[in-house]
Structure formats: C-alpha cells, structure tokens
Structure 1
C-alpha cells in the first residue's frame, strides 16, 4: 500500500484532470487560527481546508484527551460537503512532513477510505518547485460519504491498561524524549509517560532531509519490535502518534492500533500511575 505522493506526481495528475480532492491541514498548536489564515493566503489549486481542532477532533471533555476523535457521522458529513466520497482519491498536505497530515490520513483510513496519500514534503516542497498556488476557495458538488468504520484500529484507556499489564501488546510513546522522561511538560499538569511505554519519537520516521524513510529504513528503526505482536501507538493527544502508525504499516507491521486519548487521557484518571525516567 502506497502512503505518499510526490509534488511532481500530483502536479501531473492535476494537469491530466484526475478526479482528486486535495486537503490542506496546516496547523499550529500554539496559534490554532494560523493554519486557516495560511490557507486563505495561498494554497494548492483546488485544495480544501480541514482544521485539527474543529474538523479532525471533537471538543475535549473530562476524559478522552485533548484531541478526541471527531464524531463519525459529523466527520462523514464534512467530507461529503467537501465533495469526498469513499471512491474519491484524496491527497493530504501539511506545511512539510508533519503530524497533522498523518492524523487526517489515519482518520480517513479509520473511516474505511482506501485511496488517500500524503504529499511528500508538503506545501514547502510544492513551493520550492515553483508550482502554482492560489487563494481561490473551490466548491465541489456535495456527495454522500458512507463510512465503513474500522474500530479495530482504536485502543481505549482500559484496553491499554489491561494489555500492558498482561504483556499482550507493546505501547509506544511518540513524544519527545524530554517529555517521555518527565523532564519537561509544556501542555499537561503531569509529566512523564504511561508505565510500560517504549519511546519512539515521531520525527525519527523521517530522514535528516525531512523525507519519509523508506520501508527498509523503517524496518531497521523498529527492529526491536516483534512483527507478530500488537503495537499500540500513543503520544500526548493522538496526533503525533499517527506518523508512527503509518511508519509501522510501511515497515510491515499489521497489528497496529492508535490510542487516541494518549497521555492526556491517561492522566485524566486520578488512579492511573505515571512513570518518569527510562523504562
């Protein structure tokens, strides 16, 4: 299964008039309105915009983490309003190769979509090649998005707790090493990680040049993880775990789940312990 498309390939598809919908998901956690502003200023021709907080997540409540999964019916309607149905080929781009495009890719996969790709290098690569951008907002004929949800891709807090305790799955923490160790925590009231989690920083699935590593490189990166084991990926709130999800799939791992609530959900339960330092 291919996960990415190059800027050159996308440009060629647009020139040939291929039926494709492009989704711009640029976002800034520190300045939530920045992505929409960037989109209004310029974006790829024909691109629509999806917002991490408003479209790719539901509003946080007491439990569920800082970026709970969106309501499936609402998200399906949003996709249909943008001219996307299950047969539509979708290309997703971020500013570069960042976590928001992976979150959108994962959500489409969760909804049962088959043809969705991340633009390698994102908006920056498109601009670097001198390709056209626009400020025009497209309007596509509304479609019906009939989701076929894959619930097996999701792990709940209770499932994570039980499987880690009984060594029935391997939990990955995708945040920076400093946050994993509990040396710093810029977002939450507790620092550290879920006991038993192994550390795999999400940015390590990219090369020094910022490109996705190829499958053989990713196999080497994850070589200590048995392919027959179930892998649950987590992070702070289920966003930066998504590049690890994709990278594991690229490396040939089949039993991969996302814990959408991740650390921010885990610490919302007072009884849950938090570990610091190396496991």
Structure 2
C-alpha cells in the first residue's frame, strides 16, 4: 500500500537526515481520552508531536453531527501549520499499532490535498519491538503555513445520505463490528443497530491475522462484492473507524469513496430515523 511506511524506511529517513519530515503520534483510547496523551508524554518516537482525537482531529460535538464531527477546517489547517507541516512536508502518522486513529488523521490531510502522508506500519508497538529508540523529549518545531487544497466530494451529510440510499448505484458501508451492527451490543450509544441499507465491513478485516495491513490483492478480494463503478459511502459509529476502510478501499483501486462523518451517532440523533438490526 502506498499509504504505508515501514519502520526500517522511517528509521533510515531519520538517520540520513532526510529533512522536512513530521511524525505525528495519535495514540488514543475511546474509554480513556487522556490515555494517549499520557502515553506520549511518557515516551514516543524521536521528534514526534502529539495530536488528540477529541481536541485536534474532531470538532465540538453538538446535538446533531455525531460524536466526533470533523474539525473546523481553518482551525485544523492552522494547527497543522503550527506543528511544521506544509504541502512539501512528508507526514508519518503512528498509532499504538495499526489502529483507527492514524487513518483519521490520514483522511483529514488527504481530504485537504496533502499528498505525502503515510501510516507507520505496526505503529508504536512495531517501532519498539524492533529495538528502536523512544524518548520523552518534546520537540521544537518550526511553524509553516498549511494552505488546504480541498478535494471535491469527499463527504456526505445526513440529507445527502438519505437521497443516496434511494439510489441503487450507491452502497453504504458500516465499519463497526458485527455485534454492534446487528444491535446485539452497544457500548457507546443509547440506541443499537445500524442505518437501514448499510452493509457490514468490519474495519479490522482490512488487517491480516498478524495485524498488518493487507496487500492490494487481498483487499480487492475482501471488497470483491463491491463494484468499482459504484459510489461507496463509508460510515461507522462516529466517523473514525470508517477511515481505515476508506484508506483500504482507495488502496484497492476504488475511487468514488466518501465518508459520512456523523455516521451512526449522527443518524440516531434524529428521533424519526429508523434503525435496522438484521444483516443486509
């Protein structure tokens, strides 16, 4: 996958002083929002800066819009510039392992036209397991100006989604685990089930049995029932775990892929929206 960088490649890049690289640590736990920042302060990859899912990669939740709405684009662009990123910068993002939060930042930067964005394969765990250095030193970064160049048609809102669901050429994906999709369990929200018409593609299924990202051929097989001529809208609980599926679909050659940022948490914020619990 062209969106990945190996530990060895990153290590070589740092050792050879290949400049204009910013490493971003996005470790996070939904059930303990301070855990990721605490882990970063304890130790992190040399030169890495921390970005928080709630404070940096999301906007403020309101009645509608979902639990992790997209951040204000102007404020987000300013934050990206402040940590030293412009469109010439190579950005390497890492999570605890191959978790969902790195893909969220990848999606945000990609949607703003940034080309050189990579996920560290295996994340922090792989870096440490291969004997590489970590530090608690907070880096000093030179601010740059990040000017977004927005890609068109990257998202849908709830009204557009409702219209799209009437169109058989559009497919809606739910990226959550099957138990949540079927409404058997729901640890985060007051309602359980899924958006009517959504098909379940658990985001962790884009990883192999060792937890590594599947290669293009395996991803094409995984998504084989989806036509590359179809429009594919990807959702989850709140627009975070959908992002690995977006990345995987694009890696497999799907081009017409959009994110429903509000996802199920936005859908259920409207009392008159129906919920389904059977597999579709």
Q: Distance in 2 between matches of 1:76 and 1:37?
A: 25
Question: In the alignment, which residue of structure 2 is the partner of 1:235?
Answer: 236
Deviations 1:110-169 (A, max 9, x none): 111110000000000000000011100111111111011224111111111111122241
Question: In the alignment, which residue of structure 1 is the partner of 2:210?
Answer: 209
Gaps of 5+ in 1: none
Gaps of 5+ in 2: none
Question: In the alignment, which residue of structure 1 is the partner of 2:44?
Answer: 43
Tell me whether 1:67 sits opposite 2:68 in the alignment: yes
Deviation, structure 1 residue 49: 0.4
Q: Distance in 2 between matches of 1:121 and 1:7?
A: 8
Tell me whether 1:22 sits opposite 2:23 in the alignment: yes
Question: In the alignment, which residue of structure 2 is the partner of 1:189?
Answer: 190
Q: Distance in 2 between matches of 1:194 and 1:233?
A: 12
Question: In the alignment, which residue of structure 2 is the partner of 1:121?
Answer: 122
Q: Distance in 2 between matches of 1:93 and 1:148?
A: 24
Q: Secondary structure at the match of 1:165?
A: coil
Question: In the alignment, which residue of structure 2 is the partner of 1:4?
Answer: 4
Q: Distance in 1 between matches of 2:18 and 2:50?
A: 19
> If the length of structure 1 is used for normalisation, what is the TM-score?
0.99
**Map 1:142-221 → 2, pairs under 5 A:** 142-221=143-222
Q: Secondary structure at the match of 2:153?
A: helix
Q: Distance in 1 between matches of 2:254 and 2:166?
A: 22
Point out 4+ residue stretches in structure 1 off by more than 4 angstroms: none
Q: Secondary structure at the match of 1:257?
A: strand
Question: In the alignment, which residue of structure 2 is the partner of 1:56?
Answer: 57
Deviation, structure 1 residue 245: 0.3
Q: Distance in 1 between matches of 2:247 and 2:81?
A: 25
Q: Distance in 2 between matches of 1:168 and 1:269?
A: 25
Q: Distance in 2 between matches of 1:49 and 1:111?
A: 20
Question: In the alignment, which residue of structure 2 is the partner of 1:99?
Answer: 100
> If the length of structure 2 is used for normalisation, what is the TM-score?
0.98
Tell me whether 1:141 sits opposite 2:142 in the alignment: yes
Q: Distance in 1 between matches of 2:220 and 2:145?
A: 38
